[in-house]
Amino acid sequence: MAKINVDPEKCTGCGTCVDVCPVGVYELKEGKSVPIKADECLLCRACETQCPAGAITVTE
Ligand code: SF4
Ligand code: SF4
């Protein structure tokens, strides 16, 4: 299963990860991205590569 880490210090709440994730892993809560459905992650790494703040790390 994927392990997803979002660094809240770096996250700006831009919503890019919410938009690019094909399975809806992320949700914005109080202006920060939270991986609420990490168990559905496909390991495509779209979020990791497209986060403008470099806040996301996806590991297997
Ligand atoms: S793409 Fe990056 S900066 Fe934007 S909401 Fe997601 S984690 Fe935060
Ligand atoms: S790696 Fe892909 S499936 Fe997993 S959270 Fe990121 S965008 Fe979603």
The enclosing domain of 40 has a CATH number of 3.30.70.20
Domain of residue 31: give its range: 3-59
Helix (H, G, I), strand (E, B) or coil at 14: coil
Q: Which ligand is nearest to the CA of 54?
A: 1
Name the domain count of the chain: 1
pTM of this structure: 0.96
Residues 6+ apart with CB under 8 A from 1: 38, 39, 41
Contact between 17 and 33 (Cβ < 8 Å): yes
Over the stretch 8-19, which tens digit does the pLDDT of each residue have? 999 999 999 999
- Cα–Cα dist 18/27, whole Å: 6
Query: How would you classify the pairing of strands 3-6 and 26-29?
Result: unpaired
Q: Could you tell me if the CB of 36 is within 6 A of ligand 2?
A: no
Q: Output the residue whose Cα is nearest ligand 2's atom 1.
A: 45
pLDDT digits (tens, 9 = 90+) for 1-60: 899 999 999 999 999 999 999 999 999 999 999 999 999 999 999 999 999 999 999 999
